[in-house]
Amino acid sequence: MFRSIASTLANCFKIPELKSRILFTLGLLAVCRLLAVIRIPGLDGQALSEYFSKQQQGSGGLLGMYNTFAGGAFEHCAIGSLGIMPYISATIIIQLLTAVVPRLSKLVREEGGRTQIIKYGRYLTVLLCIGQGIYFANTWSHPEAIFRGFQGQLVLIDNHFWYLTQTVLIMTAGTMLLMWLGEQITERGIGNGVSLVITIGILARLPVAVQGAIDMFSTHGGTTEAAHNFWTTGPILIVVLLIVIGGVIAITQAQRKIPVQYAQRAVGRKMYAGGTSFMPLRVNYAGVMPIIFAQSILMFPQPVLSWLSNTIKVPFLQDFFRTLAIQMGYGSLMYLGIYAAMILFFSYFWVATQFNEIQIADDLKKNGGYIPGVRPGQGTSDYLHHAMSRITLAGAIFLTAIATLPIVLSRKMGVDQNVAQFFGGTSILIAVGVLLDTMRQIESHLMMRHYDGFLKKGKVRGRF
């Protein structure tokens, strides 16, 4: 197996075009990593990095999630602290608005409309960068309010207005540069550029996770207890990791094939023969969106409840809100229950906004296509709706299990959060999905030039 992979990688560099694309991609990804370590002037990033290393903060919380996606840029107070997430958020917002706003939906179908939609997304990215940049800058200026036990200060500039303006502009420029680099990778490199920028940031945390795993089994100075933990917990974690990766690969590529029959039809003076095809319905149609939506919403209840418990002077309400704040803490049973319910809800919500079975049924009818045994038009629409609802349930249950597994490992079993984040959640879903998509593109280049791909039997299916 390893010899086959090595041979495939060697074949990649025998094709001049593929070689140049791979080297171009690697070069730009290296630039992306530089943006994650070059610190913003006027900030003591070393102090925050040392705090993060001592606290071993992982993916819990909004700032922890941002730090993971940005490849540790936030803890370094780096230029790329915002990462590529504002652009991703803007793209998601525009995509959702396109599904519910008739004017935008009409614009997408017009000639040149998609270019205009992309332009709107870039404008919204700048606005999100400014808003999130102000929040990050204020967080760095008052670190003791966010990071428990932090002593000292991060801001080394006395003029707060100048510090705020400079920091926001630099972080906004860093995100726009990452966005441009991602687009260049998509156009001239290999794979989806924006997705690869996120993935390289996630994989950059892998050495920290490995160090965290080593520290787990080397506590107490290498005593018998640490050795016992290694030989009992270690193999279990390895088996769980392999099962999770295998499950993510299987569900990411899983699809239900709906057979479609096309009748013979005449268009003008040309006669088109009929044929049989299939419509692939992906099991995990929503991807990582439900997890991202659920995480984003659940970041706010606990801080709001804590603020209410400290603000309201009525003793009964103070105790009530304080109890709720404790119950809504990250990793609590209530948090896990609400988190799982929200992932299920957003899985169906995303499918409802993005999968238009009525339009698909109309397109099939216009092109002379039909599903065998199903009436065209409304009957086809109902059939697709029923089929998509059933497979979405399976995908949603899988997403719920994958999303809650890191929380259970870190909060209930004492696994370091930096280690636990690679056992599920958005990190593993994004990394596996992007790597599969990149492998598919490389394999297509190899097969076009009669080289063996990564797999001699079957093929790697992309996420889309």
Predicted confidence (pLDDT) per residue in 410-452, tens digit: 776 767 777 777 777 777 887 888 888 888 888 877 777 665 5
Which residues, listed in sequence order, are joined to residue 279 by a DSSP beta bridge?
A: 258
CA distance 13 to 166: 43
For each successive 10 residues of the chain (464 residues), what is the average pLDDT? 66 80 90 89 78 56 68 83 85 81 80 83 91 85 70 79 91 92 89 85 79 66 50 74 85 85 67 73 83 75 76 79 79 84 88 84 82 85 89 89 82 72 76 81 76 55 48
* CATH code of residue 445: 1.10.3370.10
Residue 277: helix, strand or coil by DSSP? strand
Please count the structural domains in the chain. Answer: 1
Residue 221 counted as domain residue = no
Distance CA 24, CA 196 (A): 13
Q: Beta-carbon neighbour count of residue 337 at 10 Å?
A: 11
Residue 260 belongs to some domain of the structure: no
Position 217 in a domain: no
Please tell me the number of Cα atoms within 13 Å of 358 on its side-chain side: 2
* Model pLDDT, residue 127: 92
In a domain, 352, yes or no: no
Rounded CA gap, 76 and 70, in Å?
Answer: 10
Task: Please tell me the pTM assigned to this model.
Answer: 0.75
pLDDT at 223: 46
pLDDT at residue 31 in the model: 92
Rounded to 10 degrees, what is the CA torsion of 82, 35, 198, 74? Answer: -40
- In a domain, residue 337? The reply is no
pLDDT, residue 174, reads 92
Helices vs strands, H then E, count in the chain: 19, 5
Question: Which residues fall within 8 angstroms of residue 244, CB to CB, at 6 or more apart?
Answer: 402, 405, 423, 424, 428
Q: What is the pLDDT of residue 184?
A: 92
Examine residue 118 and state whether it is found in any structural domain, yes or no.
yes
409 lies in a domain?
A: no
DSSP H or E stretch at residue 418: helix 417-420
Which of 182, 257, 244 lies closest to 425 in space, CA to CA? 244
Q: Given this model, what pLDDT does residue 277 score?
A: 79
Give the C-alpha separation, 371 to 77, whole Å: 55
Domain that holds residue 183: 1-204+431-464
